[in-house]
């Protein structure tokens, strides 16, 4: 089966079918993630729904904990996660990252668990577009920000800013993503930037939701 056929099959799975094949998730909290990565000497940022809602009054259940890292820093992250079982997830195709085996160039997700009998607990999002100085949107490299503007610190932990996390969420546009948009705390500058980025990347429907 080619990659497209494999992905199409994976996308047909219900949550129950997916977990039966791949195992369940039991996500670490942000504080637990920060403790695990305390000795990691490269930047990382909490991403996904947790980033979209950082600083918001209302939270929701999160199935996983997404951590964004630059592709150039993956080997350092792997060393910091020594003792964990790390697996590449390439469009639903899972493969163990054995010692000394490089991450495939197409891989943008790495799942982590303690061992084969344990649930998945962390997901690393491999940023192949960003640089040491800038966050770059992979679907349109003209949309970019210096890291000091793309990220911020909440409670001592680095997060992607809500507007950056929401730009990714607009691609998927599921109910929980729209809920995250409604709950996010955005100042005028963040709201204006997100609206421009959404329109520029052909996601005008979300720009209208932004108001």
Q: How many CB atoms lie within 10 A of CB 105?
A: 9
| pLDDT tens series, the chain, 211 aa | 455 666 676 667 676 776 777 788 999 999 999 999 998 999 999 999 999 999 888 888 888 899 999 999 999 999 999 999 999 998 878 899 998 899 999 899 999 999 989 999 999 999 999 999 999 999 999 999 999 999 999 999 999 999 999 999 999 999 999 999 999 999 999 999 999 999 999 998 999 998 7
30, 157 Cβ separation under 8 angstroms = yes
Maximum alpha-carbon separation in the chain: 49
Q: What's phi and psi for 164, nearest 5 deg?
A: -70, -45
Task: Supply the pTM of this predicted model.
Answer: 0.89
CA-angle at 205, arms to 201 and 207, nearest 5°: 70
Tokens of 77: 């992250």
Give the CA distances from residue 29 to residues 26, 35, 61, 122, 148, in Å, rounded to whole numbers and listed in that order: 9, 10, 11, 9, 24
114: three-class secondary structure by DSSP: coil
Alpha-carbon span 13 to 194, nearest angstrom: 32
Q: How many CB atoms lie within 10 A of CB 48?
A: 23
Listed by start position, the domains of the chain span 24-160
What is the per-residue pLDDT for 1? 41
Tokens of 167: 């730009």
Alpha-carbon span 138 to 125, nearest angstrom: 12
Q: How many Å is the Cα radius of gyration of the chain?
A: 17
Element (H, E) at 87: strand 85-90
186, 194 Cβ separation under 8 angstroms = yes
Topology given in CATH for the domain delimited by 24-160: Beta Polymerase; domain 2 (3.30.460)
């Amino acid at each position: 089966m080619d990659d497209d056929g494999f992905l199409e099959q994976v996308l047909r799975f219900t949550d129950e079918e997916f977990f039966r094949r791949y195992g369940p998730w039991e996500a670490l909290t942000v504080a637990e993630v920060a403790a695990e990565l305390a000795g990691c000497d490269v930047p990382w940022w909490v991403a996904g729904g947790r980033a979209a809602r950082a600083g918001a009054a209302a939270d929701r259940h999160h199935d996983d904990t997404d951590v964004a890292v630059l592709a150039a820093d993956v080997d350092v992250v792997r060393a910091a996660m020594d003792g964990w079982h790390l697996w590449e997830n390439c469009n639903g195709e899972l493969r163990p990252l054995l010692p000394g085996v490089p991450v495939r160039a197409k891989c943008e997700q790495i799942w982590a668990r303690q061992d084969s009998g344990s649930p998945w607990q962390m997901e690393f999002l491999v940023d192949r577009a960003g640089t040491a100085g800038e966050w770059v949107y992979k679907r349109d490299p003209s949309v970019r920000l210096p890291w000091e503007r793309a990220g911020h610190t909440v409670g001592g932990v680095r997060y992607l800013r809500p507007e950056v996390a929401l730009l990714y969420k607009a691609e998927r546009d599921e109910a929980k993503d729209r809920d995250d948009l409604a709950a996010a705390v955005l100042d005028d500058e963040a709201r204006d930037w997100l609206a421009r980025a959404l329109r520029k990347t052909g996601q005008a429907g979300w720009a209208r939701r932004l108001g």
